[in-house]
Amino acid sequence: MEVFIELSIILAITVLIAGIMRLLKQPLIIGYILAGIIVSPYFLDVVSSTDTIAVFSQIGVALLLFIVGLSLSPRVIKEVGKVSLITGIGQIIFTSLIGFFISRLLGFSTIISVYIAIALTFSSTIIIMKLLSDKKDIERLYGKISIGFLLVQDIFAIILLMIISSFSGRLDLSDVSFQSLITGLMLTGGFVLISIYILPKLSLFFAKSQEFLFLFSIGWGMGLAALFYYIGFSMEIGALIAGVALSMSPFHYEISSKLRPLRDFFIILFFILLGSQMIFGTISQLIVPAIVFSLFILIGNPLIVMILMGFLGYKRKTGFQAGFTVAQISEFSLILIALGVSVGHLTGEILSLVTIVGLITISGSTYLIMYSDKIYPYFSKYLYIFERKKLMEKEKASEKYNVVLFGYNRIGYDLLQSFKKLKNKYLVVDYNPETIRELSKNKIECRYGDADDEEFLNELNLTETKMIVSTIPEFETNLLLINEIRQINKKAIIIVMSHNIEEANELYAQGATYVIMPHFLGGSQASKMIDEYKLDADKFLKEKEKHLKYLKDKKRLGHEHPKAEKHQ
């Protein structure tokens, strides 16, 4: 009963602090850590059942990593694309190397410097996904690239946790149990095979009952976590591999959504326990290193990403916004350091240091990500050094086109087929260099550029263009486009895209000729088919055959439907 009362008090305090964080538009993880500090012996001294809370927190970490594993399909490397892979690996290498040398300069030992350097490389997939979802930026180019290299970080974390959990005491290769490593690798390989050939079929049986699917998922995740712990690894790596094994199941999204509330409850206790174990006796010694590391993460990490993306040919704004998504450390960083403490490589002071860095960088990067569109104009003119200006700009600035398409994506592909039938000269503008390369390969007139760049719009010479179409969903970009075009071309047909009724009305008011609203197009198209075909099944079947061929072509081109709703 004492544990129950203690947990009730802790959770009540956490609710209050989390509410304040919510008002400040901060991730709740900060509220959880602050609540832990408040209930620690240094303040209210509420936590006495440390062992019980520690067990709950371990369950939370296991569930967190299990759910992360569910999103890490073995096919994920192919899905994230070359830019995400190069940027992700490059950021890991440069951040860890620079972080290591900074740690050594600050006087930390080699072992501690290695841990800190690696902890600084991880960014929070959960927090970034939430912020991008709130901004509705998951489907923007920088959002897709960011999610890609965050997944690369997660895969690196899996490998790292597996290695760390094989050590004990001093960080020395002689401490590694090679028998355990071989056993772990064999088990992992076995479970990957099971996940490909057996689990998808079994999951059809489990999914017949929602309760049974929920029970099986927990049993599978906890069972593998316990098995890996038994053979000498940590429970965390077992939970991760359990999630990866289930990621091939057609029901992995459903499993993930069912387990999230359970994960959220237990992971709260992990961060509360983390906050309560912070050591404030040496806080004065930690302040300078914490500030130095925080500045490196908030400024250095974005610079690394901008340099890498500029080298790959991306516009400075894309690199700028993607850079902000790595301007914080993650829950993985804290789990890594906590694991280092548990195996005896690190002390509590280092855990306190990294936790302080986490609080500073997570809170700072939240505002940077949320307001990146407003921050960018202030730095835009200084960011040309991160951009390869002449990339694939083969067209002459003075050349004129009857039709210009801004944004070649799922909708742009369909529009391009219509432009070809018009037999008018058309141009495709996109700020994804991979897209431009593909268009150039297919002999399609294209320009690499950003619709947000007024100088670039002036270069396009749109004074006599008859139709301008934008498939870019950002309201501000379309508003700028309409205003710039209407100043020089009153008669042009301007078609833009919007997902919001109020914004669509405003775009009409500013001079748009037509506003595409994708969410309403499907119902409108189905309604027209019913009006035309009535109850004639043969006509609908012919439409079905045409649609299947169309979907096959779209699949071949990689135009998948957005999965924003499935990522949390």
Please report, in tens digits, the pLDDT of each residue of the chain (568 residues total).
Answer: 578 888 889 999 999 999 998 898 888 888 888 888 898 887 888 877 788 888 888 888 888 878 877 876 655 555 556 788 888 899 999 999 999 999 999 999 999 999 999 999 999 877 887 788 778 777 677 887 887 888 788 778 777 776 776 665 444 544 445 566 677 677 777 877 777 777 777 767 777 778 888 888 899 889 988 888 887 777 877 887 888 788 777 777 788 888 888 888 888 888 888 888 777 666 778 899 999 999 999 999 999 999 998 888 888 888 999 999 999 998 888 888 888 888 788 888 898 999 999 999 988 998 899 888 889 888 888 888 887 655 444 444 457 789 999 988 767 777 887 887 777 889 999 888 778 888 888 888 888 887 877 777 877 888 889 999 998 888 888 998 999 899 999 889 999 988 888 888 999 999 999 988 887 776 667 777 788 887 788 888 888 888 778 677 766 655 555 543 333 3
Provide the pLDDT for residue 411: 75
**DSSP classification of residue 401:** -
Contacts of 385 (CB under 8 A, 6+ apart): 310
Quick one: residue 399, left, alpha or beta (phi over 0 = left, psi -120 to 50 = alpha)? beta
CB 151 within 8 A of CB 80: yes
**How far is residue 463's CA from residue 461's CA, in Å, rounded to a whole number?**
6
In 3D space, the residue among 413, 553, 395, 371 whose CA is nearest the CA of residue 460 turns out to be 395
Judged by DSSP in three states, 400 sits in coil
What 3-state DSSP class applies to 522?
helix
* C-alpha span between 90 and 301 (Å, rounded): 11
Retrieve residue 497's tokens. Answer: 């895209």
Output the six-digit token pair for 536. Answer: 């004639």
Strand order in the sheet with 426-430: 446-448, 426-430, 403-406, 467-470, 493-497, 514-516
Distance CA 390, CA 448 (A): 9
Number of helices (H) and strands (E) in the chain: give both, helices first. Answer: 25, 6
Burial 434-450 (b: 16+ CB within 10 A, else e): ebbebbeeeebbbbbbb
Q: Which pLDDT score, from 0 to 100, does residue 120 have?
A: 93
Cα-based distances in Å from 71 to 79, 87, 216, 267, 332: 12, 20, 18, 18, 15
Report which of 397, 417, 394 is spatially closest to residue 405, judged by C-alpha positions. 417
Residue 559's pLDDT is: 56
**Range list of H helices, 327-473:** 331-342, 348-370, 372-379, 410-422, 433-441, 454-459
Query: Distance between CA atoms of 521 and 498, rounded to whole angstroms?
Result: 12
Structure-token match 């057609």, residue found: 250
Side chain identity, residue 370: M
Q: Give the per-residue pLDDT at 556.
A: 65
Cα–Cα distance, 88 to 142 (Å, whole number) = 13
Domains of the chain: 2-382 (1.20.1530.20), 403-566 (3.40.50.720)
- The rounded distance, in Å, linking the Cα atoms of 406 and 447 is 10
* Residues 205/47, Cβ–Cβ less than 8 Å: no
The pLDDT, as a whole number, for residue 171 is 46
Res 129: pLDDT: 76
Residue with token string 């479970």? 191
Report pLDDT for 76. 55
